[in-house]
Structure 1
């Protein structure tokens, strides 16, 4: 069975973040996401302004805090390509700082150029409680196009395998953030 949605504000999609019982996992593979709630902060980042409040991500941080307070785990792995895009530098230096502070376990898999980890897809998804898979689709500029809730067992098992592989290959955000790849960035 497959259900689709075309908005990140879709009630069925957002219910997954409220109703999961144990874990919510995200694999990110893009080097640029065009997210409306980040645009003001991204512009400030590009202008060289210092990191400050991030109102656009407030609702997400509240979702994370509530889940973590309820004993749930929220985690993500982002495969990042060196040299880092402006957006990934922004996400690491600004967005992840806030989400990690809220309790999200953010991890990164750094890769050089075209050296994508063998066995990991170029495919974004959410996986809730290891059984509800939401494939996320974006256009070439990184704007969200659609999502599909997939319950086909073989695809869910594959997403679990990708999760385990990505977590194994990754480093925690705080460890990555102390490295030279972010040191010279605003």
Structure 2
């Protein structure tokens, strides 16, 4: 079953304990980001502390309600231009809001999650597969209707093998 619109938004609104994501691509091409990315490429500085959005507001509210939001991004160096943009524009303010963002850098090591595609997992029971073109354009979001156990294990590996975002960027 493909998810979009209200069904997709309900995943973020209705989870009970945790929304968690695995990201594996060096870029995500979202049409609504095109102008900001181009400005970043042209040298415009991003002030991550001036950024607020419904996403950061939701993270803060859910954290106060005892709900966790997190992600691990698997990447290699050098960072793509998109990842440098994403770190400044999204990761820093999202981490400030309370999202547990972690980085799994596989530049000089074997990727323990090689071949695993992007996904969201809600309450360690509902998995949504994120389908992308090789260039990072989203194709669809698909409800995984089988056992979530492999994805729980992917999450365990990703968290165990990664470092917190702020530790990664400061080191």
Do both proteins adopt the same fold according to a TM-score greater than 0.5, normalized to the shorter chain? Answer: yes
1:74-153 equivalences under 5 Å are 74-112=69-107, 115-153=109-147
Q: Stretches of 4+ moved more than 4 A in 1? A: 53-57
Cα distance in structure 1, aligned partners of 2:30 and 2:57: 18
Cα distance in structure 1, aligned partners of 2:125 and 2:165: 26
1:175 counterpart (158, 167, 171): 167
| 5+ long unaligned stretches in structure 1 | 180-186
- Secondary structure of residue in 1 paired with 2:85: helix
Which shifted more, 85-94 or 32-41? 32-41
Tell me the residue number matched to 2:63: 68
Which shifted more, 168-177 or 55-64? 55-64
Cα distance in structure 2, aligned partners of 1:59 and 1:39: 19
Per-residue CA deviation, residues 118-168 of structure 1 (Å, 9 max, x unaligned), is: 344340000000000000001122111101112311xx1000000000000
The answer to whether the 8 Å contact 2:48/2:89 transfers is: no
Tell me the residue number matched to 1:38: 33
Cα distance in structure 1, aligned partners of 2:130 and 2:51: 20
Structure 1 residues 4 and 51, CA gap change in structure 2 (3 angstroms): same
Cα distance in structure 2, aligned partners of 1:38 and 1:52: 16
Tell me the residue number matched to 1:4: 2
Tell me the TM-score normalized by structure 1: 0.84
Q: Name the Cα RMSD after superposition.
A: 2.0
The number of equivalent residue pairs is 171
The answer to whether the 8 Å contact 1:37/1:57 transfers is: no
The answer to whether the 8 Å contact 2:51/2:93 transfers is: no
Per-residue CA deviation, residues 27-63 of structure 1 (Å, 9 max, x unaligned), is: 0000000123322322222111211369997122122
| 5+ long unaligned stretches in structure 2 | none
